[in-house]
Amino acid sequence: MRRALAILLVLLGAAACSSSSSHKTTPTTLPPVHDLRGQKQVEVEADNNLFTPASIIISQGTTVTWKNTDTEAHNVTSDTGAGFGVRSGQFGPGASYSYKFTKAGVYPYTCTIHTDMNGLVRVETGSSVTSSTAVG
Ligand SMILES: [Cu+2]
């Protein structure tokens, strides 16, 4: 029981410490998923050591183009070994890389130079490139 109390005190201390800091680093929500379904071509920028947008949903058959608008080389490396990606040497500043996703699935990827640089492509089947009906 004494150990549990110690842990509790540590937790309380940590909470008090973080809440008193002026700059908030509250882990509120996951990064937004950009729904880009129905488009033949979409773009993801590699800039500032970030993929933007990082998480996208696309339709089957959509081509994703990664553009390196940063000042240093990046890469796109599939986390699952799926057959897409570009190496650092081919993805320097100003370079771009395109891949057409023909199979539905979830494709997480990372820049292996900057392992915090993550992205996700979710490919959905069905209604590919349909005209959406405007509501309202
Ligand atoms: Cu990188």
State in Å: Cα 37 to ligand 1 middle: 26
Amino acid at 105: G
pLDDT of amino acid 16: 43
pLDDT of amino acid 4: 54
pLDDT of amino acid 32: 85
State in Å: Cα 125 to ligand 1 middle: 30
Q: What is the mean pLDDT of each run of 10 residues along the chain (136 residues)?
A: 49 43 56 93 98 97 98 97 95 98 97 97 76 47
pLDDT of amino acid 29: 65
